[in-house]
Amino acid sequence: MIIDKAEVIVTSPDRNFVTLKLTTDDGLSGLGDATLNGRELAVVAYLREHVVPLLIGRDASSIEDTWQFLYRSAYWRRGPVTMAAIAAVDVALWDIKAKAAGMPLYQLLGGASRTGLLAYGHASGKTNDEIFDSIRSHQEQGYKAIRVQSAVPGLNSIYGIASNATFEANKGVRYDHEPAQRGALPNEEDWDTRAYLRHIPTVFEAVRIEFGAELPLLHDAHHRLTPIQAARLGKSLEPYDLFWIEDLTPAENQEALRLVRQHTTSPLAIGEIFNTVWDYQLIIREQLIDYERSAVTHTGGITHLKKVLEFAAQYQIKSGMHGPTDISPVGMAAAMHLGLAIHNFGIQEYMMHGAKTDSVFEQSFTWNDGMLYAGDKPGIGVELDLDEAGRYPYVQAYLPYNRLADGTVHDW
């Protein structure tokens, strides 16, 4: 089972996706997601120029050796571009191995540890009434856990507010919040931490009054707070019993979470922008988080993320894999197979892709009553329609950035 073809496919149905397709000399093919929102072409170049030439002629069954070869032979280690490229190779090889075995991938990862995967969706609004409507529409779509993002009075823009709500026959009202805006330059947004910290507790108080104490609610602070501001947010949201608060503070400074932990018992989720186990060393060992957010797509694939999650499991930390629309259906399927097999599964983020994306990626995973089901097709259960993909060429798109009132650039 020798790799004799490697294709890097860029397509932009609802948004840009990068997919690696590997084919072996006995006709098996596998897919891997290499999408890095706003930096897609960097991963395309890394794959085409520096990885694909190394793959042709390699034994497709040697997944661990291929991972170690690509990671260590590059000399320069870690980082989102490298680890997304390695992830795509890794998942494509697992897809091939599972197809060769005639099994769904989760069976090769230890089999199912649960029947399905609890998922959460993104509710949002500019006002509490809009937020309530968004929560209700997500409940109608079956979601049993819901992330709540709110506009903040005085701010013109903020992360997480759906740009539009579209109705799709088989999916109901879909809030398409794709933060990467198409254009030659990133958009500038505004930010005011004090206004945010004053407003968010009032939103969750109103949501709890409207929806009661039981509904699992999540919130994403999106990397913007200092450690003491993060501690204040965590403490102020304790009365509303959140399932988690995500990315309260930029976690490159892992020690910052020691201070946050001293002040609040709100569960913490970190890691969607991490890409190796080394990013988690201290915060897992000192139990400074409760959920580990990495996506298969950004963290070196199944092979590496499984190791990170096994490390996290020793500290009773659970998975909360990143799953916005910039994780392609290939990346989502890989996450589902891994999430089904591991013991310390927590929750899966699930933003439904649009109809055009579904026309490019034929998916066999299913969604029912708030749960995701990986399916039992051999491999990861996703196929890519090359002709359909060719209808949607790449469109430059960048994530926004923030500036404070005095013009200082701030984390977005």
Residue ranges binding ligand CS2 (CB under 6 A): 37, 179, 220, 222, 246, 272, 322, 324, 326, 349, 399
Q: Which of 40, 220, 292, 383 binds Mg ion (CB under 5 A)?
A: 220
Smallest gap from Cβ 320 to Mg ion, in A, equals 10
Q: Say if residues 235 and 263 touch (Cβ distance below 8 Å).
A: yes
Partner interacting with residue 176 (select from Mg ion, ligand CS2, none; CB below 5-8 Å by kind) = none
Partner in contact with 90, chosen from ligand CS2, Mg ion, none, beta carbon below 5 to 8 Å by kind:
none
Residue 95 or residue 220: which is nearer to Mg ion going by CB?
A: 220
Number of residues that bind Mg ion (CB under 5 A): 2
Which CB, 351 or 384, lies closer to Mg ion?
351
Q: Is 349 in the site for Mg ion (CB under 5 A)?
A: no
Residue 126's Cβ-side half-sphere holds a number of Cα atoms within 13 Å equal to 7
Give the torsion sign (CA, 376, 377, 381, 385). negative
Residue 304 annotated to the active site? no
346 binds, among Mg ion, ligand CS2, none (CB under 5 to 8 A by kind): none
Rank residues 295 and 338 by Cβ distance to Mg ion and give the closer one: 295
Q: Among Mg ion, ligand CS2, none, what does residue 399 contact (CB within 5–8 Å per kind)? A: ligand CS2
For residue 222, the minimal CB distance to ligand CS2 (Å) is: 6
Cα(124)–Cα(121) distance, rounded to whole angstroms? 10
When the beta carbons of 297 and 303 are compared against Mg ion, the nearer one is: 297
The CB-of-326 to ligand CS2 minimum distance in angstroms stands at 5
27 in the Ramachandran plot: left (φ > 0), alpha (ψ -120 to 50) or beta? left
Helix axes 63-73, 80-101, angle to 10 degrees: 170
How far is residue 365 from each of residues 24, 359, 362, 378, measured CA to CA in Å? 25, 15, 9, 12
Q: Which residue is nearest to ligand CS2 (CB)?
A: 37
Nearest Cα to 335, choosing from 141, 178, 138, 109?
Answer: 109
Question: Residue 275 carries which side chain, given as an amino acid letter?
Answer: N
With a CB cutoff of 8 Å and minimum separation 6, the contacts of 213 are 241
Least CB distance from residue 4 to ligand CS2, whole Å?
A: 34
Choice among 177, 219, 222, 322 that is catalytic? 222
Q: Which does 324 bind (CB under 5 to 8 A by kind): ligand CS2, Mg ion, none?
A: ligand CS2
Residue 254, by phi and psi: left (phi above 0), alpha (psi -120 to 50) or beta? Answer: alpha
Neighbours of 404 (CB within 10 A): 12
Catalytic residues: 159, 222
Can you give the binding site for Mg ion, defined by CB under 5 A?
Answer: 220, 272
